[in-house]
Amino acid sequence: MNMILKYAVVASLAPMVLFAAGCKTTVRIEPSDKPIIINLNVNIQQEIRVRLDKDIEDLLADNPDVF
């Protein structure tokens, strides 16, 4: 009787183990065929213009008869 119970347990667990093995998750990392574009659209022009405007204002304040 004990041997029959072991076979019954093995027979009932075997499909569950096979099913669990079939549900294994896989993660794939594949490179894209398109290039990676990083848009670094930094507006440095504005900072330069502000500095130049301040320098011009200082120059005009020191020399009012330049123009």
**Is residue 33 in some structural domain?**
no
Q: Give the Cα separation of 24 and 18 in Å (integer).
A: 10
Residue 11 lies in a domain: yes
pLDDT tens for the 67 residues of the chain, in order: 577 777 777 777 777 777 777 666 778 888 888 888 888 777 666 665 666 677 788 888 888 776 6
Task: Label residue 15 exposed, middle or buried (CB < 10 Å: 0-12, 13-18, 19+).
Answer: exposed
The answer as to whether 36 is a domain residue is no
Give the chain's domain count. Answer: 1
Q: Check residue 11 and give its pLDDT.
A: 79
pTM across the whole model: 0.27
Domain that holds residue 51: 2-27+41-62
pLDDT score for 17: 74
The pLDDT of residue 45 is: 61
